[in-house]
């Protein structure tokens, strides 16, 4: 559906509105039609034969040739429109593929690259669902998995260079929920020393596509849970993979058709209307989060605020400055007083809501140890610094002053209990 009259050198915020959708193909409507059909009619049997040859990859489209669509499990106009609009938003991307969830995107990326006997190296912690996929899907299939703690560049180099049959490296940065960062450029340079080079994939859900650009740092694939910032309104599930290499796209396109996990037309239509505002939303959310994080850092009830502008390790600061444009809207706070304090804090919030997920307009707050990360074994929990007092916050677009007041009020309510328990002296809490 790409309209070739638009030049490719437009800036992303323009291109997202000019590419992908050609009104001539939808009776000149300003917004795309939703093509709610499972199958497509062929004008001639020859067109059907040609469409199958091209979709299966047996033959290539000739310049100027339009292929006929076949069946919506392989491809449909709303997916194509959405994919064409997403490409300019992700720096250096050549193609995009949409999936019906972030997990579907990750599974398809992994299974189109890995086969039994191969190995994958990944950073720890990963999103809980991805972690389960490693242990409960990849390992039983005979794929060797090796974890490296996020932010340990030398160990990651050693794992990449020292793991036999390495075919994939999966990096999630910043890591959930403590925002620990991994150096993408260094990992891609190390991977490039191997022949064959393993496919480097980055789960860019937390900072991308606005604040972090893995394809410019040498990564092969960028993966999103589009359920989060791309969707932006906590009202749909979707996933996306972007890359540059045509062979990788071909493998994933084939697997998506096989698995049947392409995003449905209605969801594609909703999501493509959200893309033009992703940068506006993420910038506002990041500004809100930075103001709140930097205001809370002085509170005596909090042992530590995890937020990129508040990193204290020099290596973490270096990675942040080298690969992130802005700090983003995810933060965590570790409360003194453990789980009782954390639960009390959650109970007293009035603006922020106690829910998992992230990236929506509304601020969401959760207790990782008993929710998102409750399936992790204790060693993984410790490695990921998930303590009893840890609270994860996805900052929304509310007025930051109301959010700060909400958090300060909830902290005020736990202070007397902390003083009573001797965790805080009256003096420190008066700061
Ligand atoms: C939510 C999330 C996923 C999974 O995405 P779904 O859309 O829920 O399937 C994967 N990775 C990260 C970092 C996430 O936050």
Give residue 143's region: left, alpha or beta (phi > 0; psi -120 to 50): beta
Ligand 1 touching residue 227 (CB < 6 A): yes
Residue 307 forms part of a structural domain: yes
Instruction: Please tell me the distance between residue 202's alpha carbon and the centre of ligand 1 in angstroms.
Output: 12
Phi, psi torsion values for 302, nearest 5 degrees: -105, 125
Residue 381 forms part of a structural domain: yes
Reported as a single tens digit per residue, the pLDDT across 9-30 is 899 999 999 998 989 888 999 9
Ligand 1 touching residue 128 (CB < 6 A): no
Ligand 1 touching residue 149 (CB < 6 A): no
Low-confidence stretches of the chain (pLDDT < 50) are 1-6, 429-431
Residue of 101, 103, 124, 355 best suited for mutating to test ligand 1, as the one with most atoms within 8 Å of CB: 103
What's the CA gap between 50 and 394, in Å, rounded? 48
pTM here is 0.94
Residue 352 forms part of a structural domain: yes
Instruction: Please tell me the distance between residue 103's alpha carbon and the centre of ligand 1 in angstroms.
Output: 6
Residue 318 forms part of a structural domain: yes
Instruction: Please tell me the distance between residue 358's alpha carbon and the centre of ligand 1 in angstroms.
Output: 9
Instruction: List all residues 6 or more positions away from 274 whose beta carbon is below 8 Å from its beta carbon.
Output: 230, 231, 232, 233
SS3 call for 397: coil
SS3 call for 199: strand
Predicted local confidence at residue 5, as pLDDT: 45
Per the prediction, the chain carries an average pLDDT of 94
Ligand 1 touching residue 237 (CB < 6 A): yes
Ligand 1 touching residue 33 (CB < 6 A): no
Contact between 236 and 270 under an 8 Å Cβ cutoff? The reply is yes
Tell me whether residue 27 is exposed, middle or buried, using C-beta atoms within 10 angstroms of its C-beta: 0 to 12, 13 to 18, 19 or more.
exposed
Ligand 1 touching residue 240 (CB < 6 A): no
Residue 334 forms part of a structural domain: yes
Predicted local confidence at residue 35, as pLDDT: 96
What is the distance between the terminal CA atoms of the chain, rounded to a whole angstrom?
60
Contact between 358 and 364 under an 8 Å Cβ cutoff? The reply is yes
The domain total for the chain is: 1
The candidate with the shortest Cα–Cα distance to 239, out of 115, 137, 110, is 110
Instruction: Please tell me the distance between residue 54's alpha carbon and the centre of ligand 1 in angstroms.
Output: 32
Give residue 349's region: left, alpha or beta (phi > 0; psi -120 to 50): beta
Kindly report the CA angle at 385 between 380 and 388, in degrees rounded to 5? 100
Contact between 229 and 359 under an 8 Å Cβ cutoff? The reply is yes
Predicted local confidence at residue 430, as pLDDT: 47
Residue 336 forms part of a structural domain: yes
Instruction: Please tell me the distance between residue 404's alpha carbon and the centre of ligand 1 in angstroms.
Output: 27
The candidate with the shortest Cα–Cα distance to 55, out of 34, 73, 37, is 73
Task: For residue 394, give the CATH number of its domain.
Answer: 3.90.1150.10
Catalytic residues: 73, 127, 203, 228
Query: H or E stretch including 392?
Result: strand 390-394
Q: Tell me which residue has its CA closest to atom 1 in ligand 1.
A: 225
Instruction: List all residues 6 or more positions away from 165 whose beta carbon is below 8 Å from its beta carbon.
Output: 117, 118, 119, 144
Range of the domain at 370: 278-429
How big is the chain, counted in residues? 431
Ligand 1 touching residue 102 (CB < 6 A): yes
What's the CA gap between 144 and 127, in Å, rounded? 19
Instruction: List all residues 6 or more positions away from 341 whose beta carbon is below 8 Å from its beta carbon.
Output: 301, 335, 389, 414, 417, 418
Predicted local confidence at residue 8, as pLDDT: 64
Residue 48 forms part of a structural domain: no
Q: Tell me which residue has its CA closest to atom 5 in ligand 1.
A: 102
Ligand 1 touching residue 129 (CB < 6 A): yes
Which segments of 296-349 are extended strands (E)? 302-306, 330-335
Cα 281 off chain centre by: 15
Residue 424 forms part of a structural domain: yes
Q: What one-character DSSP code corresponds to residue 41?
A: -
Instruction: Please tell me the distance between residue 95's alpha carbon and the centre of ligand 1 in angstroms.
Output: 21
């Amino acid at each position: 559906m790409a309209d070739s009259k638009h030049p490719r050198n437009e800036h992303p915020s323009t291109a997202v509105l000019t590419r992908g959708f050609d009104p001539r193909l939808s009776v000149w409507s300003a917004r795309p039609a939703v093509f709610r059909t499972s199958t497509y009619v062929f004008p001639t049997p020859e067109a059907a034969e040609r469409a199958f040859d091209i979709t299966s990859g047996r033959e290539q489209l000739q310049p100027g040739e339009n292929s006929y669509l076949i069946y919506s499990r392989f491809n449909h106009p709303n997916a194509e429109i959405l994919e064409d609009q997403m490409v300019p938003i992700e720096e250096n991307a050549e193609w995009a593929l949409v999936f019906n969830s972030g997990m579907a995107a990750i599974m398809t990326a992994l299974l189109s690259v890995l086969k039994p006997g191969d190995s994958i190296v990944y950073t720890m912690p990963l999103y809980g669902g991805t972690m389960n996929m490693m242990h409960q899907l990849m390992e039983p299939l005979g794929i060797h998995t090796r974890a490296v703690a996020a932010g340990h560049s030398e160990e990651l180099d050693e794992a990449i260079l020292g793991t036999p049959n390495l075919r994939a490296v999966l990096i999630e940065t910043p890591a959930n929920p403590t925002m620990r960062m991994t150096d993408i450029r260094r990992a891609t340079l190390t991977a490039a020393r191997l022949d064959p080079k393993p496919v480097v994939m980055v789960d860019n859900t937390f900072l991308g596509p606005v604040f972090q650009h893995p394809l410019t740092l040498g990564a092969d694939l960028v993966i999103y849970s589009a359920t989060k910032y791309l969707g932006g309104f906590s009202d749909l599930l979707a996933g996306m993979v972007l890359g540059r290499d045509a062979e990788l796209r071909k493998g994933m396109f084939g697997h998506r058709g096989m698995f049947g996990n392409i995003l449905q037309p209605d969801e594609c239509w909703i999501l493509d209307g959200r893309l033009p505002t992703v940068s506006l939303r993420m910038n506002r959310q990041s500004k809100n989060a930075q103001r709140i994080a930097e205001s809370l850092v002085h509170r005596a009830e909090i042992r530590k605020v995890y937020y990129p502008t508040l990193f204290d390790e020099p290596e973490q600061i270096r990675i942040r400055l080298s690969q992130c444009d802005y700090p983003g809207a995810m933060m965590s706070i570790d409360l003194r007083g453990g789980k009782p304090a954390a639960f009390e804090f959650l109970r007293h919030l009035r603006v922020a809501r106690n829910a998992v997920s992230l990236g929506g307009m509304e601020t969401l707050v959760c207790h990782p140890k008993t929710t998102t990360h409750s399936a992790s074994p204790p060693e993984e929990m410790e490695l990921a610094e998930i303590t009893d007092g840890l609270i994860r916050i996805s900052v929304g677009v509310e007025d930051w002053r109301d959010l700060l007041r909400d958090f300060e009020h909830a902290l005020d309510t736990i202070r007397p209990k902390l003083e009573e328990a001797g965790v805080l002296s009256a003096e420190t809490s008066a700061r």
